[in-house]
């Protein structure tokens, strides 16, 4: 789920993508940060993607969790990412239809942004160069701000239906959101469909997300609209799905998708 893409408060300390700190000059630290950011958005297969938690990651997680708690009406006793996933599952299990779950997830995403930012982006940025600039921008910001949620990812080149190729893709090597939730329904109804809706309706950027339920990778395609039957997911439950085992469901199509 890509969130908090634009509204990032100015940090009071230097942003370091490492757990260690050495007293180097400001110029050296700036060059080091620039090299790390370039590495992260590189689409070269020779660069191995790694993610070291940054100083803003706790802020991102707290913000997202707070909005989840407001939506579901309760919090998890578990801390950190495990507790966050418990809340996501609760969002799915609260007796909602797929449409209601999608609407709730979209509300959470919207609440993470000042309304004016979304409106201005859709009005001023999204129309530029037939949408290319906006697509390229959100791809890069997604990589820089959402790895705490999804895991290591990188910008890559995607093919558009009109034959053009844009560097507006984001490839998630192994989505920890899916890996931790172990649920096709959680992936589809609280991440894929609402995230696509959010970017299209509130930022003016078409998005197609293609999760792979075998290796847990996911391909984001900013600038590509989803097909009409995109919501028809005929995926079996994952063997490790806690929701399916709790309900003693047989194998077959995921009932939550």
User: In the chain, what are the domain boundaries?
Assistant: 55-247
- Residue 229's pLDDT is what? 82
- Residue 9's pLDDT is what? 47
- CA separation for the pair 201, 96 (Å, rounded): 22
**232 burial level (CB within 10 Å; 0-12, 13-18, 19+):** exposed
Mean pLDDT for the stretch of residues 10-36: 43
Residue 7: CA atoms inside 13 Å, Cβ hemisphere, count? Answer: 18
Q: Which of 46-60, 92-106, 205-219 has the lowest mean pLDDT?
A: 46-60
Mean pLDDT for the stretch of residues 106-131: 95
Distances (CA, A) of 139 to 23, 68, 81, 239: 33, 24, 23, 32
Specify whether the CB–CB gap between 226 and 239 falls below 8 A.
Answer: no
């Amino acid at each position: 789920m890509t969130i908090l893409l634009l509204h990032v408060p100015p940090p009071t300390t230097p942003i370091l993508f490492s757990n260690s700190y050495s007293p180097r000059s400001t110029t050296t630290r700036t060059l080091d940060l620039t090299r790390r950011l370039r590495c992260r958005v590189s689409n070269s297969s020779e660069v191995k993607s790694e993610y070291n938690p940054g100083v803003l990651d706790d802020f991102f997680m707290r913000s997202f969790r707070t909005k989840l708690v407001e939506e579901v009406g309760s919090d998890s006793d578990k801390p950190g990412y495990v507790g966050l996933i418990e809340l996501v599952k609760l969002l799915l299990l609260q007796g909602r239809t797929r449409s209601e779950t999608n609407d709730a997830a979209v509300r959470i995403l919207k609440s993470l942004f000042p309304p004016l930012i979304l409106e201005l982006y859709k009005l001023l940025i999204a129309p530029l160069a037939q949408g290319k600039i906006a697509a390229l921008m959100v791809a890069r910001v997604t990589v820089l701000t959402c790895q705490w949620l999804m895991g290591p990812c990188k910008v890559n080149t995607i093919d558009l239906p009109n034959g053009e190729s844009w560097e507006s893709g984001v490839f998630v090597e192994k989505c920890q959101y899916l890996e931790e939730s172990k649920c096709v329904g959680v992936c589809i109804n609280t991440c894929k469909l609402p995230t696509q809706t959010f970017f299209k309706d509130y930022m003016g950027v078409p998005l197609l997300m293609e999760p792979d339920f075998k290796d847990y990778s996911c391909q984001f395609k900013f600038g590509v609209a989803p097909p009409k039957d995109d919501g028809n997911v005929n995926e079996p439950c994952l063997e490790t799905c806690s929701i399916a085992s709790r309900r003693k469901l047989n194998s077959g199509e995921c009932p939550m998708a």
